[in-house]
Structure 1
Amino acid sequence: MIVPVLDDLPTDDPADDLRPRDAAQDAVEPDHGSPQPRPTPRAVVQSFGMLAAAVLVGVLAVMPAPYAVNGPGPTTDVLGEVDGEPLIEVEGASTYPSTGELRLTTISGVGGPGYPAYLLNVLRGWLSPASVVRPVEDVYPQDASREEIEESNAGLMVSSQENAAVAALTELGLEVPATLVVAGTVEGTDAEGKLEEGDVLTAMDGEALPDYQSLVARLAEVEPGDTVTLTVTRHSRTVDVPVVTGEREGGGAQIGVFIDPSFDMPVDVSINIEGIGGPSAGTMFALGLVDLLTPEDEANGQVIAGTGTIDVTGAVGPIGGIRQKLAGAVRDGAEWFLAPSDNCDEVVGHVPDGLRVVEVSTLHEAREAMVAIGAGEGEDLPTCTAG
């Protein structure tokens, strides 16, 4: 279709002469011959002031602000699907359907390297009770690039998935053998200079260490300051190394080594999720795996959200952004929230209406809470309290 430009149209419409004129219309026709009044100085000042303010707001809106803004992020049902595929897939064992939802929670943030926060982001964060605005240096390392932070978060996510699988399978009574490889020693401990990177721990005081849980259980029987004999495989040779134990932060004995375990999983577990980093989804991954591998419908139609790191022993650890995750959970329909015990101080006084928080410190406690909630008996579960 060819559209004529306006310059090609006739300037006079012959039909105009045939239309009756309205006297009132004629009366309001402007007199183009009369001089227009000049603007007053005050009007000029106001106009320039408004223009300057508009320019200032425009500049501030696109200038990075030295703040990080965190708000509620999306939640995801670990028992559901992502792009038509199960989020958690298991090979080598039977899985069972569930009528409930177990939703991992996230935070959505701007202000880090590569994701600057702008004035409008900061203003919205200050006005939203579910968001937190903090100086950017308090949230992100200033010497790290966006790529380095994303790589670190991706590594933490992979580690949390492996920990979740080991913890869940162990909770279900399955054996998960592990090769306990020494990744290094803690500076200042007796192990420094005695154990070497690459040593493989095979026994303690003559008792075999077939998995990571055996090492943890054996150390629980030792008092800080006791001497233990570690049997290690070093360059294909068996070596006995006496080590004086130290005291672990939080209590208990430690041998002063970093262990990089290699697990021999009895079933294959894969978790299909992208765009989420960090370790805080570990507890919900583990809980979802427990639900899938048991014939009982533990969640039983309930929408349960939660968060928390997890280690291979099933211990649930604290996370950041708990308030934003509570808000995201209730927004997406959850009525229950499993929160790490170490986050309770941040939970008290910030629970949204319609959400019930259950305090957990282990995967076993989280599993029992899920079962109670699904059975309609969740009202007596422990919750976070002040102090």
Structure 2
Amino acid sequence: MRDRQPAPQPDPSPFDDAPVAVAPISRRTVTLGVSLLATAVLAAVALVVPTPYAMRSPGPTEDTLQRNLIQIEGARTYESTGELRLTTVSVLGGPGYPMLSGQVIQGWLDPKRSVLPVEAIFPEATTQEQQKELSQAEMVSSQESATAAALTEIGYDVPAVLDVAGTEPGSGAEGKLSEGDVIVEFQGEPVGTYADLIDGLAETNPGDDVTLGVQRGKRAMDVDITTSGNGERAVLGVFIDPRYDFPVDVSIEIENIGGPSAGTMFALGIIDKLTAEDEANGKVIAGTGTMSPEGTVGPIGGIEQKLYGAVRDGAKWFLAPADNCAQVVGNVPAGLNVVKVSTLAEARDAVEQIGRDEGSDLPTCS
């Protein structure tokens, strides 16, 4: 029997028993490594630090012609084939809900968003709940003003009691009218609608003296006021809270949207439903703007974001308040045509021209 031989072993490496040389770590290298680690930690922490900023982003849009948003009783309504979309802004941050640094940086890098100091969006010393309540109150007032303006635009008389809510400091009405007074006459003529008062002022020059018939409690009295105004339009310097007696029952049902900026699109939706003409005629038209009872389109905030929201939801046309044109210029997304409007009559005419494919000559903000 052959003896079993041990398995051959590899030759030992000449380096197996040699000491391993380790390069010494310099103090500079250690300092650099610690600094980089500290910087990374600080940067990560900085991204979650609360900031005094809030951010506006494109919010949802709603078609005011959809079946259940505007409901009308007491008058014949008509079907529409187009869309009249109100636009909104979503706000991140604010009282009790601060934005983090990382979110601020993202907002700065996104052209569809704008980052502003909190106080530029929210009134100082207000809570999130107070801001929500104010926004809802503004929405209700906006709906009433839009209804009054729309019905007046298409020929209805809209009776109203004109309660005085206050006076503008420094105006001719200060100290002469009080909260709770009711304006019943202008220059000796009865005032039964908001339009009556506005029509009277339209024939008055700034600086003219006018006489208001006022009901103060059970007492009837005449009050002389010197009007003011920067241009051709005279103003009384009186804040009025109208109580309407609408000849048509209009109700607007919309959730999770507040503020006054949908007034113009509400008014256009009411007009479209109450008139036989299909004004939008298949076109998708978006817009924004407050609406006064006499039909004036007022400026709003966040129009840059509303332009992007309109394009996202399929709009090719956008109605913008003339007083917002400075913010519109340079911020119009590709494929969107912006029309500037100052009154409800102008906005209505724009919708009709767009519906007839005749919108190319409408005024713009450029």
TM-score by length of 2: 0.87
Match of 2:161 in 1: 179
In structure 2, the CA distance between the partners of 1:245 and 1:379, relative to structure 1 (3 Å rule), is: same
In 2: Cα distance, 1:129 partner to 1:202 partner: 51
> Given residue 125 of structure 1, which amino acid in structure 2 is its aligned partner?
G
User: What is the aligned partner in structure 2 of residue 278 from structure 1?
Assistant: 259
**Cα distance between partner residues in 2 of 1:235 and 1:323:** 47
Pairwise CA distance, 1:212: 0.7
Aligned ranges 1:98-113 → 2 under 5 Å: 98-113=80-95
2:49 is equivalent to residue 63 of structure 1? yes
What is the match of residue 265 of structure 1? 246
How far residue 47 of structure 1 moved from its aligned partner, in angstroms, is 7.1
Q: 1:347 and 1:256, CA in 2 relative to 1: closer, same or farther beyond 3 A? A: closer
Structure 1 residue 246 corresponds to structure 2 residue 219? no
Between the aligned partners of 1:97 and 1:231, the Cα distance in structure 2 is 44
How far off is 1:57 after superposition?
Answer: 4.0
Aligned-partner Cα distance in 2 for 1:309–1:50: 53
The residue aligned with 2:78 is: 96
- Partner residue, 1:301: 282
CA distance in 2, matches of 1:136, 1:308: 22
Q: Once the two structures are aligned, what percentage of the paired residues are identical?
A: 59
1:53 CA drift (Å): 4.8
Q: How far 1:258 moved relative to its partner?
A: 2.1
Aligned equivalent of 2:5: none
- The C-alpha deviation readout for 1:135-170, integer Å capped at 9, x for no partner, is 333333332111121111111111111111111111
Is the Cα–Cα contact under 8 Å of residues 317 and 338 in structure 2 kept in the other structure? yes
The residue aligned with 1:198 is: 180
Look up the equivalent residue of 1:360 and give its one-letter code. V
Q: CA deviation at 1:39?
A: 11
Aligned to 1:310: 291
Distance 1:195 1:119 in 2: 50
The alpha-carbon distance between structure 1 residues 47 and 77, as it changes in their structure 2 partners (threshold 3 A), is: farther
Letter in 2 for 1:352: P
Most deviating of 290-299 and 190-199: 190-199
For residue 43 of structure 1, report the CA deviation from its aligned partner. 8.8
Aligned-pair distance for 1:306?
Answer: 0.5
1:188 aligned partner: 170
Which residue matches 1:78? Answer: 64
Aligned length: 345
Q: Read off the aligned partner of 1:123 and give its amino acid letter.
A: I
User: Residues 171-204 of structure 1, C-alpha deviation per residue, up to 9 Å, x if partnerless?
Assistant: 1111100111122233334433333332221112
* Alignment RMSD (CA, Å): 2.3
Tell whether the 8 Å contact from 1:245 to 1:254 is kept in structure 2 after alignment. Answer: no
Cα distance change, pair 109–186 in 1 and its aligned pair in 2 (3 A): closer
Contact 1:245–1:253 (8 Å) recurs in 2: no
Equivalent in 290, 305, 327 of residue 346 of structure 1: 327
Structure 1 gaps of 5+ residues are: 1-34
Q: Deviation of residue 278 (structure 1)?
A: 1.3
- Distance in 2 (alpha carbons) for counterparts of 1:88 and 1:38: 80
Partner deviation per Cα, 1:217-266 (whole Å, 9 max, x = no partner): 1012122333222212222232222x132312444323332221111011
Aligned residue for 1:376?
357
Return closer, same or farther for 1:262/1:54 CA change in 2, 3 Å cut-off.
same
Unaligned stretches of 5+ in structure 2? 1-19
1:211 to 193, 218, 234: 193
Q: How far 1:211 moved relative to its partner?
A: 0.5
Structure 1 residues 141 and 199: alpha-carbon distance in aligned structure 2, compared to 1, 3 A threshold: closer
Q: Which amino acid aligns with 1:64?
A: P
Q: Which amino acid aligns with 1:298?
A: E
